[in-house]
Copies of this chain bind each other. A is one copy, B any other.
Amino acid sequence: MLILLTNDDGITAPGLLAVYHELTRLGEVCVVAPETVQSAAGHGITISKPLLTSRVTIDQGVVGTAVDGRPADCVKLAISQIMPRQPDLVVSGINSGANVGINVLYSGTVAAAVEAAFLGLPSVALSLLLKNDITTDYARAARDSVTVIQDLLKRGLKGGDVVSVNLPALRAEEQPKGIKYCRQCTRPWVDTYDRRVDPRGRAYYWNSSIFALGETESDTDVAFLRGGFITVTPLQFDLTRHDQLKRWQS
């Protein structure tokens, strides 16, 4: 099995390296990832400038291709130029921070996986909830991630399928409560900004929203992740709202 591994935190991010080591149990892993942090890059792509690439040693014996572009660029470039053949699976992550609820729209991690699905490949986005009072354990999240990926492969994950997996923040002695297949919460954030004035008198605003897991229904990714479960949400890239379209067409 040939696996493309990318992310949005950049090629040197610890979450990428941790899952790299676990994925090698499933097959050959090719790393093509952004040169720099691309958090909240959304599904941007680079068309008006060229993409510089370089070979980067991430860890002893682990070499990847860094691309000075966005997560979706890495997937496009890897598949069309860098990889010897089409990968059998694309993995994006492990992201430093959850991608549940409406964050799914902003997430570069998810965008990379959606790009892969859109190009006809099976793909999985991996994101780890961070909590200030819990030491982040990427190695453990990587092990749990591969357990979920193996489950998805058994269920017949196929080309064009894209799945977003979120891992809970756990203390060393804690275990995930289980795996929940669940929907994305679609409730809005409440945006807050600090208004300040720069040294030249120009107003600026800094987003001060608390992206905590807010109010939600009990059957969503937000609820289950907060409850200590691993959440698994199959995604789509057909943005048409078909029910409304039918009403408008008739």
Chain A positions within 8 Å of B, measured between CB atoms, are: 39-54, 70, 72-73, 76-77, 79-81, 102, 104-106, 108, 111, 114, 118-120, 155, 161, 181-184, 186, 188, 191-193, 195-196, 198, 202-207, 209, 232-242, 244-245, 248-249
Contacts and interface: CB of A to CB of B under 8 A. Distances in A.
Given A42-B42, A183-B238, 14 more contacts: A40-B46, A41-B44, A42-B70, A42-B111, A45-B207, A46-B207, A50-B196, A52-B204, A102-B118, A105-B111, A118-B186, A120-B188, A183-B245, A234-B240
Given A54-B202, A79-B191, A202-B53, A234 B238 contact: no
A8 to B, nearest CB: 10
B244 A80 contact: no
A245 to B, nearest CB: 5
A155 B184 CA distance: 28
Contacts of A104: 239
Contact of A249 (B181, B188, B195, B241): B181
Contacts of A191: 76-77, 79-80, 119
Contacts of A186: 118, 237-238
Indicate how many identical chains form the complex: 2
30 contacts: A39-B48, A40-B44, A42-B45, A42-B111, A43-B106, A49-B206, A50-B204, A51-B204, A51-B206, A51-B207, A52-B198, A52-B204, A53-B204, A73-B207, A79-B191, A81-B193, A102-B237, A118-B186, A119-B191, A155-B248, A161-B244, A181-B249, A182-B245, A183-B238, A183-B240, A184-B239, A184-B240, A232-B248, A233-B245, A237-B239
